[in-house]
Amino acid sequence: MKPKNVVVLMGGVSPEREISIRSGNAVAKALGDAGLTVSCIDVKDEKIDELDQREIDVAFIALHGYFGEDGGVQQLLESKGIPYTGSSVSASKLAMDKVATKKRFIEAGLQVPDYIAVTEFQELSEIQHDVMRLGLPVVLKPTRNGSSIGISIVKDITHLQMALKKAFEFGYEVLIEKYIKGRELTVGILDDKALPIIEIKPAMEFFSYDAKYTDNRTEYLIVEKTAGANGKISSNSLCEFGLLTSSLYDEAQEVALHAHRVLGCKGFSRVDMLLDGKNKLYLLEVNTIPGFTEKSLLPKAAKAAGISFSSLCEKIVDLAFQRTLVSVDEAIQN
């Protein structure tokens, strides 16, 4: 049994609305090319009354950020009995919270950069003290936001207040991580399997919003395996973009899959990590609804595995639909 009628939810009420619309339009075209009957809803509130007026086999969630990746829209869809793509309410909520995610990673024995969490209710002097104890430079990130919105690197403590102000525009809590100089890797997960690794080589200092969506100089390299003495790349590994030893490559995929499972993610995700100069991997986050634009990394990884964009989107819909059928069968048996 296959799904026929798919609704693509895009837009949304978060700061990532523009990217979501681009993702949703790309997904809708891909699913149409795959022969499915597709309609779109531009989500502008948290009720989505249009859902009640359509025949829907699966809702493809192309919403990023708040009321997309945080479990909100998933909860709404469950209340209406509509199958949806991606992770459950609880897994989405957990993955969206960067601090809760890090705590879960640490409990599972996975390596993350040292960090502290601060709130806008704390005194600046207290935050400065904690940051100096952590050690400069540091990276500031809104706890519950995506697309690198609100992120800053602080190398001088005098710049901390401005970076905090920028991050607090997107929530009352901010994650402050120890800055790790290294290579940026991302591993897509599809149907509980790791896809080929992609290395991000931003022209800017880090993979910011502009580097992701407006700077054409950012490079995305499909990583290749290479031999190395004792399974390690030479000390100048930071210059060897697009290459990893077999052991490091396999480790990165294993870490990504472990992170995906630890958070309880389903269907697909994208796991971001850093590789430092000593060939040590640090997990950053798991994106339960990564982008589906022409620059997006999950589609690039799928393509490297021989999966077209249209096939990727269709597969994601099938996974959601089949999961629902299994749930129905289990309910009948019980």
Catalytic site residue from 146, 150, 188, 291: 291
Known catalytic residue at 287? yes
137 near 154, Cβ under 8 Å? yes
316 near 23, Cβ under 8 Å? no
φ/ψ of residue 177, rounded to 5? -105, 150
Known catalytic residue at 88? no
Residue 326: CB atoms within 10 A of its CB come to 10
Q: Give the gyration radius of the chain's Cα atoms.
A: 20
Strand order in the sheet with 37-43: 37-43, 5-11, 58-61
Catalytic site residue from 69, 173, 272, 314: 272
274 near 182, Cβ under 8 Å? yes
Catalytic site residue from 23, 147, 152, 296: 147
Known catalytic residue at 272? yes
Q: How far is CA 238 from the centre of its chain?
A: 24
Catalytic site residue from 179, 285, 296, 314: 285
Q: How far is CA 113 from the centre of its chain?
A: 17
Known catalytic residue at 25? no
Beta strand ranges found along the chain (DSSP E): 5-11, 37-43, 58-61, 115-119, 138-142, 152-154, 173-178, 182-190, 193-201, 219-222, 224-226, 243-245, 268-276, 281-287
Known catalytic residue at 242? no
Known catalytic residue at 147? yes
Residue tagged 């706890």 (tokens) = 143
Token pair for 84: 């949806």
Catalytic site residue from 14, 23, 145, 287: 287
87 near 266, Cβ under 8 Å? yes
Known catalytic residue at 285? yes
Known catalytic residue at 148? no
Catalytic site residue from 171, 213, 250, 310: 213
Q: Which residues are catalytic?
A: 16, 147, 213, 270, 272, 285, 287, 291
